[in-house]
Structure 1
Amino acid sequence: MKLLFLLFVGIVLYLIAKGYKTEKFENIKLNVKEKFDGDLMNHEAGLLVALMAKVAKADGQVCDLEAEMLKHTFTDISRHFENSDEIREKLKVIYSKEKESFDNTLEICEKLYKITKNHYQKRVKIIEYLLNLAFIDKEFSQTEFMIAEDIANALKIKRTDFENLINAFENFYREQKENKALSLDKAYEVLESNKDDDNNTLKKNYRKLVKQYHPDIVSGQGASQSIIDDATKKLQEINEAYELIKKDRGI
């Protein structure tokens, strides 16, 4: 259906634009609502959630980011139905049931293919969404690859399209990791520290710099306004660097 196609596209594009920060997920607003009282395992919504369950459990566990994405998916899909609360609960039941076994994965794909047979790009977006779920913990295991590959083949996704999607996600997370490394290097430089320093040494260096650049202290030394302004900017940089390192170290 056009409705869910727009939903898939919107979610994927939003996540890409936001760097997959699911805590900032923005609901997609559509005015048209569907009334559905049948078996959701004969509907795109239920079949998508069923496949999400397979992918989420492919590596044996569901991380916090995956759980957050699943929660938002249940909410946003159900919002496009008149009986949204009922649909959301049914989607949760489908997820709980389908994550227990991979035995019926191809059967689910066959149903979804019949519904989307004439909409190839929709199926590509479905695979893109499933890969997003698999990559969201920044690890793409061999098991996740295998289940995604089986689904892609069953949905008759061209091999080149499947590989291009995987390459796009791998490049995205590689660049993200490299940018983080560069940011951390800069943060240690700002704190006049290095990665081998223990937490106590890091804290001492931070406190020393805060005393050196705190605008009240600089002002008390009779500095000019321009020097005070520079010190204020430097202190902000010091605080940001310290918070980044603390987050990276988990302290």
Structure 2
Amino acid sequence: MHYWGKIIGVVLAIVSGLGFWGALIGLILGHGFDKASAQRKFAGGMNKRDRQAIFFASTFQILGHLTKSKGRVTETDIQLASNLMDRMQLHGETRKAAQQAFREGKAPDFPLRDVLKQLRMACYGRFDLIQMFLEIQLQAAFADGNLHPNERKVLFIIAEELGISKSQFEQFLDMIQGGRQFGQGYSQQQSGGYYQQSSGPTLEDACKVLGVSINDEPTKIKRAYRKLMSEHHPDKLIAKGLPPEMMEIAKQKAQSIQAAYDLVKRERGFK
């Protein structure tokens, strides 16, 4: 049982002479310590294969739930999910598992928060995995060129349960929107009823991908670029628990970051 944090917090408050309110605060802080300890123990006792399985299933379950949040699931939605599976080169039993997870996510009683809590515990101490998960969901939400209000609500819940602040979430939104101009995400033919980018990337788009401002100093831009490339290095992500089927997505993300950085260097005139 994880209760030592609570006991220590209360005892320290009493010994310090902080009274009832001090003991209450100590109890709350101790509870937070116990919760974090439980998460570390859960994640620490999990092997990479289990972590990859949870990440894989959660990805498609949440995608199904996100799609259903708009109301009726259309043929376009199904095609977009199929396109993602194609990008991952999913075939046979692996593709069937992804399709089954997607159907589970569409169920009216799908336990969204419980699934996200399990994912967060599985990825404890691996924020780059959490970040990759959110980016996949954001790409899916923007796949048709629009972010439905209900999709936004679900995305807020995802961010909240995964410990992502509102400011971080808004930054991820900007990065995904900018990344669409660099071939990141889903690009479909307009004639088929899907969304298609009509113009090339701009300096502003590139800066969104890197999470910087147009007028930032070159040193700050370089630092942001290196950090992003490190966070999205496919081999590092696989080692931390990203399913190998998703390596192609990580590679494409890294390529869009590189393309954005090259554009910024060219437009700003630095090497």
User: Structure 1-normalised TM-score?
Assistant: 0.47
Larger Rg: 1
